[in-house]
Amino acid sequence: MEYDLPSDFDIIVVGTGMVESIVSAAASRIGKRVLHIDSNSYYGGLWASFNLDSISKIPEGNRSQPVVENKENEIVYPVGNDVFDLRIHSQKWHIPESNPEKDVDESDSAVAQEEHEWTQEKLLKISRKFNIDLAPKLHFAKGDFVELLISSNIARYSEFRSVSRILTWLNGSLEIVPCSRSDVFSSNRVSVIEKRMLMKLLTSCVDGDENEFKGYEGKTFQSYLKDRKLTENLIHYVLYAIAMCTDDTLCLEGVEKTKRFLGSLGRFGKTPFLYSMYGSGEITQAFCRLSAVFGGIYALNQSLNGFIYDNDNTFKGIICGKQRINATHLVMSLEKLPKEIVDFSTTEYISRAIFITDKSILEDEREHLTLLLFPPVDRKAACVVLELGSLTGTCPKGLHIVHVFTKQTVNPEDDLKHCVEKLFCKREGESNSSPSILWSFYFSAPNTFSQKLECEKLLNTYVCPGPDLDLDYDPAIERAKEIFERIYSNAEFLPRAPDPEEIIIEGEDNNNIINETEERAEVPADQGDVSSELAHEDDT
Amino acid sequence: MGAAIFVKASVVTRYCDSRQKHRQSAASWRDSETSFEQQKGHDRFFEMSNLNQSGVKPKDHLYKILVIGDLGTGKTSIIKRYVHQFFSQHYRATIGVDFALKVLNWDANTLIRLQLWDIAGQERYGNMTRVYYKEAVGAFIVFDVTRVNTFESVSNWKADLDSKVQLPDGSPIPCVLLANKCDQQKEGLINSKSKMEEYCKEKGFSSWYETSAKENINIDEAARTLVSQILLNDKLINDSNKDGDQFSLAHTNDVKKKSCNC
Ligand SMILES: Nc1nc2c(ncn2[C@@H]2O[C@H](COP(=O)(O)OP(=O)(O)OP(=O)(O)O)[C@@H](O)[C@H]2O)c(=O)[nH]1
Ligand SMILES: [Mg+2]
């Protein structure tokens, strides 16, 4: 579509990842004029979800064309760098392309019921039933993210499913982690004495009596658990599953993590965790929708040719195709940062694998949403495994999507191999009780949260990191809030947006034609000076 | 003189920060069993998506309807006319509103609430989020009879719609085509009724109407047609499998607000 964007904004946000989208929503919410653009044709950047067909086409990165014009007294930087791109290792099918003997014109439900007959053709035909996350996230039921969704009223845009069980790998098999009181008491893997010990320990972690941890300041959480005379099994449950720690995690950090877990129990479902229906990519879009509803202008698939700065490196605007668009502030995702500005040499990576499988890693009568915390073994770091079924709206009935990830040490395949081999069938076509992998995708994603958020060289420019290893969005929210507060130091961060039902529109009763209708929702915060950029300039 | 939109004073209550969260957490863990059980009986916590509340009161329906189409074809005007009974030559963007709500007394024992989702003027470049499409059960596609190019876009809008939202069984949601501004001089295919019929059949529209938001022509009729189409799918819409593990977080706040006075 050919169109011109308005040419003057308070803030331009480049990239629709999580941090950018929160900043965009927060700025629109207080009445700032926001332009939010993305060179991709989809929302979410490195935080997006894709269907099966489109994930096979995701670009590793995108660069702008070299800049055309350079005016006097200004510097134009090209867009993008290749330091923070995804690195795709392999994307493979493990099933035949098609099955010539069978009639392929079957309806969805028939396909789902049929066993062991999956073909690439069949899966691609129902490609849209898949929502495959590049950065799957879970949410602590009482964590910062859930509280922010509720307090800002963005919650109305999304729905969640609770994780229905938490597993760990213990003594060569999958075990259910008893996390709530009822789990502890009903578990037949835990003896009566262990039950008492576990309850006592969890209670003392939660109550946080200072004396309890005296002397453990420099010691590990593991040593604390050992001193409490917990059995090996219990130490495993608490250390690797509940607290999600390593052997080296310090005691007080372990206690904090235990509290984070326990504090979120009992609000929704049986575990502390929620997952966003239709994939984690929905979440960035919920923030974008709020931004749009409060006046933010959106343009995806937007060719972006350069960032304009004046001679003292103060941000002036951007070049989009032939258009120049001015703004006071620029917020952008790290991968959009001009190449010559990037001075980061080392980058951490996350090793990720995504599988489509034909059954659950631990079969049960009902479908589960499973979180498996695979403990560290030998010199391999702990892995997080998230198994999603059709009830999450991310895959068709009868199949599962499994995400496996860990901090990168070598490469995705080598980092995850030990875990993957234990959970799935080893050879193609071999059928035992483990699920088979129908499709696999290994890639590395940059873990950029340790990067600085302001580039010293460029003024009024703020940089947003990509996805990190935290299970939830806590670090992303913190970053977004930090950026927002630097730009608008006195403004409220995402005050509650009214529900549509709370907005009363009063029309004129007698005279049905009103000229020059000026309407505006008088919402809390300094919404008063919203300018009406959106009035029709184009039709007369 | 003009229309005004304001927010009921009661919602301006500020959110109080989550400092008390940590204080609560200890207690909530220990009581987790009991509080979980209590909440179960408490709708507020277990409120499924409000679009599915009809499961509770069988004759009270809530439907989400999308209104899409090219720039300036009259989407906002049609919604304003239908819901608020007025028309204006110059709308400014309505800030902060997701949808307009129209309540229909369909028959003696059926109440229908329609959520009409406008394209936020801001998303006018055609980049609506999935949030916009999600759980919609019907749509209007609007074109401007005075501008042929807006009619040419109709098939793109329809294809886009069908690719982004389907009924639980995978079939497209019912969609009515609105040939708006029929109080003006018409251009193109719209001048031939039989060709329009053929076009709608081919593109999968349930029906089409010539409308005018200005003169209030056919808007109620078009809506009635769309609603009766949606009602045919009602069973399908409500059968979507939702169990106790699915949550909407909306309105969870209300409880919280009561407990703090800051
Ligand atoms: N004559 C006439 N004018 C109309 C009619 N409906 C809308 N208009 C005018 O057309 C212009 C655009 O109407 P809007 O309702 O703002 O159109 P829209 O589709 O919401 O536009 P965007 O939100 O910008 O995409 C306004 O000037 C309206 O007054 C109609 O039925 N007849
Ligand atoms: Mg409009």
CB within 8 Å: A522 and B6: yes
For residues B102 and B85, the answer to whether their CB atoms sit within 8 Å is: no
> Which chain B positions have a beta carbon within 8 Å of A182's beta carbon?
33
Model confidence over A451-464: pLDDT tens digits? 766 677 889 999 99
**ipTM of this model?**
0.74
Q: Is B70 a member of any domain?
A: yes
CB within 8 Å: B122 and A512: no
Q: What is the pLDDT, as a whole number, of residue B241?
A: 58
Q: Which domains does chain A have, with CATH numbers?
A: 8-84+278-344+452-487 (3.50.50.60), 180-264 (1.10.405.10)
CATH number of the structural domain spanning residue B134:
3.40.50.300
Q: What is the pLDDT, as a whole number, of residue A452?
A: 67
Range of the domain at B224: 59-240
Assigned token pair, A108:
């969805």
Give the closest-approach CA distance of B163 to chain A in angstroms. 9
Q: Is B7 a member of any domain?
A: no
Q: Which ligand 1 atom is at minimum distance from the Cα of B124? A: 25
Task: Kindly give the parts of chain A with pLDDT less than 70.
Answer: 1-3, 60-70, 100-116, 208, 343-346, 426-432, 452-454, 501-540
Closest by CA position to A35, among listed A27, A44, A43, A47: A27
Lining ligand 1 with CB less than 6 A are A 539; B 71-77, 89, 91, 121, 124, 180-181, 183-184, 212-214
Q: At what angle do helices B154-164 and B193-203 cross, to 10 degrees?
A: 30
Q: Is B1 a member of any domain?
A: no
Q: Which of these ranges, A178-187, A272-281, B121-130, B150-159, has the smallest mean pLDDT?
A: B121-130
Exposed/middle/buried for residue A269 (C-beta within 10 Å: 0-12, 13-18, 19+): buried
Structural domain total, chain B: 1
Model confidence over B21-51: pLDDT tens digits? 333 443 344 444 333 333 333 333 333 334 4
Q: What is the pLDDT, as a whole number, of residue B97?
A: 81
CB within 8 Å: A508 and B1: yes
Choose which residue among B76, B80, B178, B187 to substitute to test ligand 1 binding: the one with the highest number of ligand atoms within 8 A of its C-beta: B76
pTM, full prediction: 0.84
> Which chain B positions have a beta carbon within 8 Å of A298's beta carbon?
122-123, 125, 127
Q: Is B218 a member of any domain?
A: yes
Model confidence over A263-315: pLDDT tens digits? 999 888 889 999 999 999 999 999 999 999 998 999 888 888 899 999 999 99
The total of other beta-carbon atoms located within 10 Å of residue A147's CB is 21
Q: Is B14 a member of any domain?
A: no
Q: What is the pLDDT, as a whole number, of residue B43?
A: 32
Q: Is B251 a member of any domain?
A: no
Q: How far is ligand 2, taken at its centre, from the CA of residue B61, in Å?
A: 26
Query: CA torsion, points A486, A491, A496, A499, in degrees to nearest 10?
Result: -110
**CA A401, A402, A407 angle in degrees (round to 5)?**
145
Please report the number of interchain residue pairs, chain A to chain B, with beta-carbon separation below 8 angstroms. Answer: 281
Give the closest-approach CA distance of A537 to chain B in angstroms. 10
> Closest-CA residue in chain B for A32?
B95
Q: Is B259 a member of any domain?
A: no
* Integer Cα distance of A281 and A174 in angstroms: 29
CB within 8 Å: B72 and A536: yes
Rounded to whole angstroms, what are the CA distances from A398 to A116, A425, A493? 10, 17, 43
Q: Which residues pair with A406 in a beta bridge?
A: A351
Q: What is the pLDDT, as a whole number, of residue B123?
A: 60
DSSP H or E stretch at residue A522: strand A521-522
Taking the Cβ of residue A527 and every Cβ of chain B, the question of whether any pair is shorter than 8 Å is answered with yes
Q: How far is ligand 2, taken at its centre, from the CA of residue A37, in Å?
A: 20
Model confidence over A468-478: pLDDT tens digits? 999 999 999 99
Q: Is B234 a member of any domain?
A: yes
Q: What is the pLDDT, as a whole number, of residue B125?
A: 65
Q: How far is ligand 1, taken at its centre, from the CA of residue B144, in Å?
A: 9
What's the DSSP call for residue A375?
P
User: Dihedrals φ, ψ of A13, to 5°?
Assistant: -110, 125
For residues A98 and A104, the answer to whether their CB atoms sit within 8 Å is: yes
